[in-house]
Structure 1
Amino acid sequence: MVTADDVRAIALSLPRAYEALVRDRVKFRVGRIVFLSLSPDETVLGFGYPKEERAALIEAEPDKFFLPIPSDMRYNWMRVRLAAIDHAELEELVIDSWRMTVPKKVWTEYLASRES
């Protein structure tokens, strides 16, 4: 099981990422784009994810993943129960979501720094 502190540690280690409090919700952004959002009770994480791949993700692991609220269905967005994932899964979700928001140059520099 992972916690909001784990989310924070991974997200804030990424270039250009910062934390913001918006209407009592912790959100992580790059510029003005939100790539992660914690529920008020910090048990659910919203994250950037391609719309066309949502159904397959939910079908594969319905106990972990679920659709965003109806008003967020138009966005590349999904939700996951933090209690249902481990640290490696969290890290992959956070980094992939962040990658959708940064310029390719930032992503490639980050990837190069991880490989060295």
Structure 2
Amino acid sequence: MAVSIEEFLRIVTGLPEVTQGEGGDWVSFKVRGKGFGYLWERTATVGLKATIEEQKALVAERPDVFEEQFTAGRFGWVVVHLDGIDADELTELVTEAWLLSAPRSLAEAHERLIGLSP
């Protein structure tokens, strides 16, 4: 069980309207100007936007894979160690992070496309 940086990049850039930005030691990911993820290649970790409840649950369940990064408003950001997660679970977490930041119309269109909503 491990996800490579290249696999992570395929997952995140496979979502609609994702843009990347460089920030020194990290790469940021945004959808229409709103951030939802970060990649730290040096440590093979990513930071993902989540609800505070999801953040707490992930960290409590598997502290060897997930770390609390910070909270901001109603969101909790979680650090994910790529060597401790599989591609399916990471895809789900990245998609959830994207959905928390994407405009409603774009999120709904994507959910229809992948069969999450009628």
Q: TM-score scaled by structure 2?
A: 0.85
C-alpha distance 31-23 of structure 1, shift in aligned 2 (>3 A): farther
Matched with 1:16 is: 17
Structure 1 portions without partners, runs of 5+: none
Shift of 1:83: 0.2
Gaps of 5+ in 2: none
Matches within 5 A, 1:69-80: 72-74=70-72, 76-80=76-80
Q: Determine if contact 1:4/1:42 at 8 Å carries over to the other structure.
A: no
Where do 4+ consecutive residues of structure 1 move more than 6 Å? Answer: none
Contact 2:5 2:41 in 1 (8 A): no
Over the aligned positions, Cα root-mean-square deviation in angstroms equals 1.8
Identity across the alignment (%) = 27
Whole-Å separation in 1 of the counterparts to 2:56 and 2:101:
22
Quote the offset at 1:21 in angstroms.
Answer: 1.0
Q: Could you list the per-position Cα deviations for residues 41-60 of structure 1 after superposition, in whole angstroms to 9, with x for gaps in the alignment?
A: 15111000112332222111
Counterparts of 1:13-52 in structure 2, within 5 Å, are 13-52=14-53
Match of 2:8 in 1: 7
Query: TM-score when scaled to structure 1?
Result: 0.86
Q: How far apart, in 2, do the equivalents of 1:64 and 1:98 lie?
A: 20
Instruction: Return the letter of the residue paired with 2:16.
Output: P
> What count of residue pairs does the alignment treat as equivalent?
113
Matched residue SS, 2:63: coil
